[in-house]
Amino acid sequence: MRSAGLSAADPSRGAPPMALAGTLLPIALAIIMFGLGLSLTISDFRRVVVYPKATVVALGCQILVLPAICFGLVVAFDLPAPLAVGMMLLAASPGGTTANLFSHLFGGDVALNVTLTAINSVLAVVTLPLVTNLSLSYFAGGSGTLGLQFDKTLQVMAVVLVPVAAGMAVRAMAPRFAERMNTPVKIASAVILALVIAGALLQELDNLGGYIQSVGLITLAFSVISLTIGYWAPRLAGVRREQAVASCMEIGIHNGTLSIAVALSLLNSAQMAIPAATYGVLMFFTAAAAGFLLRPRTAEPILSEGSSV
């Protein structure tokens, strides 16, 4: 069992970073998700039913593998109790809606991302309180009190599904317009995301050093491991590259905003929000690096799910 204290450089004295992003990012992502919907059709979602392996592998990694890996990292780094619980809260959070954007930018199967985010958000109603309560009991020595947060789940699903459905409706009614808007929307999406990141970094510039000093290394390691498992687990299972990229982003990009909201509003702990807040800054860079490494160089032939790759 870990001590509940922090090191001498206690970053919890300031507000958690990404406060600006926590306000603006959901709005920006809702606009971006509308743009993603312009590129989707119903047939895109049928591929998820035809290739269920990608969905099962990704959800298995998200729900089982990542919390176990995060627990190992927390023990290895010997984090204080509040930071340890915050890391486990982050690991238990579903994939963030930002994963859909990164998948879109780097050639992933966005339909799979949207489906995974929706399913994972529903499952998180059970898995997030369960992992968090077990972590509170193990690291902090107390019983968990985090209930099932249906409102949080509905908020995540709304940001994902409603704008995407609207974009798909526009595509169905005006397919030529949707095709013309595909490239401009992708460029605008990248610009919006860059502005939000820049704004968050500028706002939290004074506090950034303290956050990174406390949990920067473990959150960086967790991000890199999550992205690596997210891509290679599906590939080793015979999943196509586009779906593996989608899984990489879905598993590698956690909903840091949700983690911060749970830590501050439900657990009443600014310290528990620090890992997600720090991760929320670092993961943009690790996810972008993974995207550039995985971007398609040659067209991959369509394979059946059981085919070798």
Residue-wise pLDDT tens digits, 215-257: 999 999 999 999 999 999 999 999 999 999 999 999 999 888 7
- Weakest-pLDDT range from 65-69, 95-99, 140-144: 140-144
Q: Does a structural domain hold residue 307? A: no
Whether the pLDDT of residue 1 is over 60: the answer is no
CATH number, position 60 = 1.20.1530.20
Annotate 199-244 with DSSP letters as a single string: HHHHHTHHHHHHHHHHHHHHHHHHHHHHHHHHHHHHHHTT--HHHH
Asked if pLDDT for residue 5 goes beyond 50, the answer is no
- Whether residue 305 is contained in a domain is answered as no
Instruction: Kindly list the distances between the CA atom of residue 301 and the CA atoms of 15, 147, 259, 308, in Å, as whole numbers in the listed order.
Output: 49, 46, 39, 11
CA distance 217 to 222: 9
Instruction: Tell me if 10 is assigned to some domain.
Output: no
| pLDDT score at 21 | 53
Is 14 contained in some domain? Answer: no
Number of domains in the chain: 1
The verdict on residue 255 lying in a domain is yes
What pLDDT score was predicted for residue 84?
A: 93
Instruction: Report the Cα 44 to chain-centroid distance in Å.
Output: 21
- Structural domain includes residue 1: no
Tokens coding 127: 């898995």
Count of H helices and E strands in the chain? 13, 0
Which letter does DSSP use for residue 107 in this model? Answer: T
Average pLDDT, integer, range 59-84: 93
Please report whether residue 30 resides in a domain. yes
DSSP 254: B
For residue 31, give both structure tokens.
């606009």
Distance in angstroms (rounded) separating the CA atoms of residues 132 and 113:
24
pLDDT band of 199, cuts 50, 70, 90: low
Does an H or E element contain 123, and which? helix 110-135
**Minimum mean pLDDT range among 67-71, 95-99, 186-190:** 186-190
- Could you list the residue range(s) of the whole structural domain that residue 33 is in? 19-140+148-293
pLDDT band of 184, cuts 50, 70, 90: confident
Average pLDDT over residues 30-37: 72
Contact 25, 189 (CB under 8 A): no
Q: Is 127 a member of any domain?
A: yes
